[in-house]
Amino acid sequence: MRKRFAALGVLCALLPGLVVHSFAAEAPAVSAASALLMDADSGRILYRLDENTPRPIASTTKLMTALVAAECLEDLSQTVTIRREWTGVEGTSLYLKPGEKLTAQTLLYGLLLHSGNDAAVALAAHCAGDVDTFVSWMNQRAKDLGMRNTHFSDPNGLGDENHYASALDMARLAVACLENETVAEIVATKSIALEGRSLTNHNKLLWRYEGCTGMKTGYTRQAGRTLVSSAQREGQTLVCVTLNDANDWTDHQALLDYGFAHYPRTVLAQEGEILAQVPVQGSLLRSLSVSPRETVAYPLQEGETVTMEMDLPEEVQAPVLEGEIAGSLRFFCNNKQVGETYLVWTGTAGRDVTGERAKPSPLEYLRRLGQDEE
């Protein structure tokens, strides 16, 4: 039989020093047609403005192009020979020349820093064999990420009325880009020189905003100014999206400041912290300690209350190994589960937590015997 413990007001009980107020901070006003601010780790939306409406996204499209290309390319040092049909693309360009040889890495940096439309075409055709196939990959990846109000018709954002995304969808894409080591490194780069080209990131927030970790700008007459940004402070990462926003640099700084100030990352459970004791039978010890297997954190606004629910056995029989799962721990805020982790037995490394060395299983005994014979 197992028992559950519910703790109310966890913010007051478990997080000493945190002051709880009864008001919510007012969000900043922005000039965007659509906007969204999201905590990257939890997915919690901290600010929203018409976030589900599909809109033209211009060159922020290239975040998806880069993500799909990075997932496709096993070796970024591979040489790409530029074909004539990949050149002469309108708009911002790397001015690729037929027969020119560049690495995939250079094309990716040219895509995300300089926003080269020809680099987008070259990467798409190189990865998939032709641009149309690559675009179908982009649309499939969008579905995988839950981008329900998105459709791509090209890899660079110059597309027709069938090329669009919502602010919420672009935030989901931004999180996926941050989780991809290659893309995350490139969007955070201010400037770089590769194969005779000097490339400078168009994202001014890398210079203007403390903790900015990059992302992508965009502009077309149809879309207006579009911007996706990310920033990190004190272990918390936020992503911000604005679509059709003439004042995007200022709006992103205001929204990011608002998120970090009013929805800070709050640790709900710390890995290794003893949270409970469970009676033990068959041991000189009267009880055993349990602790979270990993740290659980969530962005909380002032005044919000979290409840904690632990699922543990009423008692346990020795021997019990350190690190074995003892139960589970869940956190709820506003009637929604916001975090969970396993609870594990805590004790001395290499021994069972009842103080006696654990007896090896028959399979473990044979494995050890084989090692001794070697």
Q: Which residues are catalytic?
A: 59, 62, 115
Instruction: Name the phi and psi angles at 128, rounded to 5.
Output: -105, -10
Cis peptide before 319 (omega within 30 of 0): yes
E strands, the chain, are: 2-7, 34-39, 45-49, 79-81, 101-103, 191-194, 197-200, 212-220, 224-233, 236-243, 265-269, 276-281, 287-292, 296-299, 306-313, 316-317, 325-333, 336-346
Under a CB-based contact definition with an 8 Å cutoff, are residues 62 and 156 in contact?
yes
Give the Cα separation of 251 and 29 in Å (integer). Answer: 8
Burial 173-202 (b: 16+ CB within 10 A, else e): bbbbbbeeebbbebbbbeebebeebebebb
Residue 144 C-beta-side C-alpha neighbours within 13 Å:
11
Q: In whole angstroms, what is the distance from residue 283 CA to residue 321 CA?
A: 13
| C-alpha torsion 357→358→364→369, nearest 10 | 30
Look at residues 10, 143, 12, 118 and name the one whose alpha carbon lies nearest to residue 68. 143
User: How do 276-281 and 316-317 pair as beta strands?
Assistant: parallel
- Residues composing the chain: 374
Q: Which class for 313: exposed (0-12), middle (13-18), buried (19 or more C-beta within 10 A)?
A: middle
- What amino acid occupies position 169? D
Cα separation of 161 and 56, whole Å? 8
